[in-house]
Amino acid sequence: MTAAVQEPQASVPAVGSTAPDFELVNQHGEPVRLSSFRGSNVVLVFYPFAFSGICTGELCEIRDNLAVFEDANATVLAISVDSKFALRAYAEQEGYSFELLADFWPHGGVARDYGVFDGDSGMARRGTFIIDAEGMIRYVVVNPRGQARELAEYRKVLRDLSIVNLAGRH
């Protein structure tokens, strides 16, 4: 009998640290690089799998409240370990207009960099990282399996970021 080899897990990046850069393909196979969004806020939403119940509920809530993010000059990037093909079907079925990124290969590589990859199940945990216009992480939440995230928290953090950004422009 052979034992499974566990890869070391990166820790979740702390608030105030620079967000690890990455490039993944979106649901259309187009490359998307995190650092290309400098100058605007980014909301990274890691989720386990396309078409699963809680994930669909969370992403539909974002879809239905996209103005909250747009008003805060924030781009939503939703990341799972699914292939771009599954993500395209998922986005079309649910009417998502934001980017769904495939952390498919190396499997969960970006989720590992953000400390949210669950090696036992081969999926990303529910982690959200709100990144400011300079690339600094300003908010982190990682929820346990089966527990949805609260959109109200995103609203509060984005509102606070908008206030800080406005104050910095004077």
Question: Tens of pLDDT along 13-61?
Answer: 999 999 999 999 999 999 999 999 999 999 999 999 999 999 999 999 9
Residue type, 133: A
User: What is the DSSP pairing of strand 99-102 with strand 74-80?
Assistant: parallel
* Strands of the sheet with 137-143, listed across from one edge: 31-33, 23-26, 99-102, 74-80, 41-46, 126-131, 137-143
Catalytic residue among 55, 62, 77, 123: 55
Task: Give me the domains of the chain, ranges plus CATH numbers.
Answer: 23-168 (3.40.30.10)
Residues comprising the chain, all counted: 170
The 3-state DSSP class for residue 82 equals: coil
d(CA 141, CA 128): 5
Active site residue 60: no
Question: Tens of pLDDT along 99-127?
Answer: 999 999 999 999 999 999 999 999 999 99
